[in-house]
Each structure stands twice: as C-alpha cells, then as structure tokens.
Amino acid sequence: MNRHHRTIVGCCLVAALLAMSPAPCIATEPSVEVLWPAGAPGAKGNADGDVPKLTIYLPDKDKATGAAIVICPGGGYGHLAMDHEGHQIAQWLNSFGVAGFILQYRHRNSGAGYGHPAPLQDVQRAVRSVRSGAAGWGVKPDRIGVLGFSAGGHLASTAVTHFDDKVYDGRDEIDQASARPDFGVLIYPVISFVEPFTHVGSRQNLLGANASREMMEKFSNEKQVTAQTPPCFLIHTWEDTGVPAENSIYFYLAMRKAKAPAELHLFAKGPHGFGLGQKIEGTSAWPMLCQNWMKVSGFLGQ
C-alpha cells in the first residue's frame, strides 16, 4: 500500500470513529415554557411570534452555582439572533454552572408585530418567572441576572433601569415576584435613543417612526440609571460601527455617577454582532472576564 492509499484509509478510519463518537452534549436537554399560558398581555394573535417563551438550559447539578441569567438575543427589535446570541450563550453559561433562560420576546416582526411595551412586559415576566420558580430549577432567587446583545442589550438595560415600571396587570403568583434583576450583562448594547450614536432602526422598531421626544428620553437608559440599578458588566469594541461604543461608555459613566457598581471593557477588534467572539484576538477574552466578574461580585459561590 503506497502513501496515498494509506492516507485515504487513515482518513476513512478517522471519519468512521468520529461518526461513532457521541456528539458534544449539554448538561440537560433544554425545555421550553410559555411565559403566559393564557396569552400575553396585548397579544394580537396565536402564532409562534405572538407567544413569548423561555428556552431553559440547566447546568449539571454538581456544577450548579445557583446563578441564572435571562438571555435577550439581539436583532434590532426586528428579529432574534437565537443561535450565536442565544443557544450558544446558554451552553457557555452552563459550562460554569449558570442556568440560562433564553427569552423569545415579541418584536416588530414577530407574530402580528409588536413595539413598546411588549418587550419590557416579556423581560419583566421572564425575571419574575425565574425568581418564582427558582427552587424547582436549582436557582437562588437573589442570583438572577439579565444578559443582552445589541437591541437585546437595550432590553437588558431597560430591565435593570425600568424594573419598577408597571407595564401590565399582574395575573398570578408569578407576578408577585420582583422584576428587578440582581445584575446585568450588556454586550455591545444599544443604550441611547437620543444621542447621535443611537441605532435608529432599533429605536423605530421599538417606539415607532414618530416617537415623541419624551419617549425617546425615557428609553435612553443612560438617563435612567440610579443608585438602585443593579451591578452591570459591559463590553464593546472600537471597530463597532453599527452600535458605537459610546452607548456602553455613557451607560458606564452614568453608573459611576450613581455609585452603582459596574465594569466596562473596550476592545480594539471586532465588528458588531460577534457573539462569543471566539475567533477575534483579544475580544475573545470577554466570556472569561465576564465569568470572573460574576465570581468576584458574589454571584457564583456555591
């Protein structure tokens, strides 16, 4: 057998062994729960996009830290990047003992189409649902965070600054739980709706093309930070032209002014929407930095 044939046979054996090997597995198969079984407030239909829900990834019990995060994928309030800003994030969280709850929230192109207040209703209900069901999921009710990317970062920043806003009438015991997240993780987030660096598409999808100045100010979340805003971790990149880094910088400065704990990392490389950023030198450090921040902030202790 010559070298060429040996190479072919070797490759075939490797391929066969890989085919026989089990695929990488997650701690448990994810489950899905509808946020409002009787129908969401303001629902305009019964299609999948009219029904907000949580996809739940739980870590191995021997790894679980008791921490949980509601994940808000980005998409300009016009779609949801459910893979690289959803499922991949939940699996990463599971790897160090954090439960991941991916929020399929309503937006301009879901179901019959939704703007404000539907996304805020959905994220408040999600935080309340995780808190009220904490014991059943092995979660501690004082370790529930919210994480968002891009427009999902705007929704997460809304969750940490507008948690006391009453945007729907309570229906059950779940709605008696607090909607205040214990911490926030904002990844290349949209923050301001009034500054020159805003993402106009996200603003228009959420508030409409003719939103009042009052509403734009209200949901410019750098203007809504107070001493009661929970601790936040933020990242952005110099190269982000879709949602400029000033969004994170202004929010961080507001946190400092309010004496609310925050950590900000600005990286040189990386376009908008890179998710875990595994192939971007330097920026790929953000998941470990975030994990370390959660640890030193007291959210990961057994």
When pLDDT is averaged across residues 103-125 and rounded to a whole number, the result is: 98
List, for residues 62-98, the tens digit of each pLDDT value.
999 999 999 999 999 999 999 999 999 999 999 999 9
Domain that holds residue 220: 27-296
Domain count, the chain: 1
List, for residues 150-186, the tens digit of each pLDDT value.
999 999 999 999 999 999 999 999 999 999 999 999 9
Residue 291 lies in a domain: yes
Residue 20 lies in a domain: no
Residue 4 lies in a domain: no
List, for residues 68-78, the tens digit of each pLDDT value.
999 999 999 99
Residue 55 lies in a domain: yes
The mean pLDDT of the chain is 92
Q: Predicted confidence band at 301 (pLDDT cuts at 50, 70, 90)? A: confident
The pLDDT of residue 85:
98
Residue 302 lies in a domain: no
With 0-12 / 13-18 / 19 or more C-beta atoms within 10 angstroms meaning exposed / middle / buried, residue 26 is: middle
Rounded CA separation 105/103 (Å): 6
Residue 52 lies in a domain: yes
Which CATH number belongs to the domain containing residue 212 in this structure? Answer: 3.40.50.1820
Helix (H, G, I), strand (E, B) or coil at 266: strand
Please say if the pLDDT value at position 6 is more than 60.
no
Please say if the pLDDT value at position 16 is more than 70.
no
List, for residues 30-71, the tens digit of each pLDDT value.
999 999 999 999 999 999 999 999 999 999 999 999 999 999
Residue 161 near residue 122, CB atoms below 8 Å? no
Please say if the pLDDT value at position 26 is more than 50.
no
